[in-house]
Amino acid sequence: MRISVSPIPSPIPLARFLVLLGAVALGASACGGEVPIEAGSEAQSTIPGGSSDTTTPEPSADPTVIEGAVIGTGNIGGPVVNPQAHRVGSIAIAESYPEQLMVSFLAGDPNCTAADGYAHVIDGAVRVTVFVGITEDALTRSCLAGTDFEHTLSIPLVEGLDGRELVYEQ
């Protein structure tokens, strides 16, 4: 009696698995403190901020909820799938009025990464928040997993900073 054995097909191709694994790792890397910077300057986040508060806030049901009045938005890569709050590497402020913020951060392959950025006013300060995820068609593209690339997101403001402190998550 002859028995033939055929390989069991994989339910998820390796490329898709690596993209999903990269998206999970990207979401898990979003943490850090706040760094204030002043208008007309460029800030480079080198020292992590922090606080002595040991309580852990409850996560929001929607990670993209923005508090305060939004005064600027930006996007790269189109609609963001599975957006997660993400660290900002640095912010450069254009000397125009109202200002334009050039937000730099490290994330995955540009072919598969999408990001939304927001500038919003909270307690008299302008906070910059970036949400990163994958593009809608990332699973059909060839994406390089496990490597970070520098991305720059432009956020034009609809009103000036007007001396307000600028803070962001690093």
Residue 30 predicted with pLDDT over 50: no
Beta-carbon count within 10 A of 106 CB = 16
Task: Give the pLDDT band of residue 63 (cuts 50, 70, 90).
Answer: low
What lies within 8 Å, CB to CB, of 77 at 6+ separation is: 110, 113, 114, 115, 135
Among candidate residues 145, 36, 144, the one with its CA nearest the CA of residue 88: 36
- In the predicted model, what is the mean pLDDT of residues 35-49? 41
Q: What is the pLDDT of residue 86?
A: 95
The three-state secondary structure class of 139 is: helix
Residue 39 predicted with pLDDT over 60: no
Q: Are 77 and 122 in contact (CB under 8 A)?
A: no
Q: Where are the alpha helices (DSSP H) in the chain?
A: 14-28
Q: Using CB atoms within 10 A of its CB, is residue 72 exposed (0-12), middle (13-18) or buried (19+)?
A: buried
* CA dihedral angle for residue 120, residue 123, residue 126, residue 130, rounded to 10 degrees: -50
**Segment holding 34, helix H or strand E:** strand 34-37
The three-state secondary structure class of 17 is: helix
Q: What is the pLDDT of residue 10?
A: 40
Task: Give the pLDDT band of residue 97 (cuts 50, 70, 90).
Answer: confident
The three-state secondary structure class of 162 is: coil
Q: Are 71 and 99 in contact (CB under 8 A)?
A: no
Of 19 and 56, more confident: 19
Q: Are 59 and 112 in contact (CB under 8 A)?
A: no
Among candidate residues 26, 85, 51, 45, the one with its CA nearest the CA of residue 166: 45
What digits encode the pLDDT tens for the residues 138-157?
Answer: 989 888 888 899 999 999 99
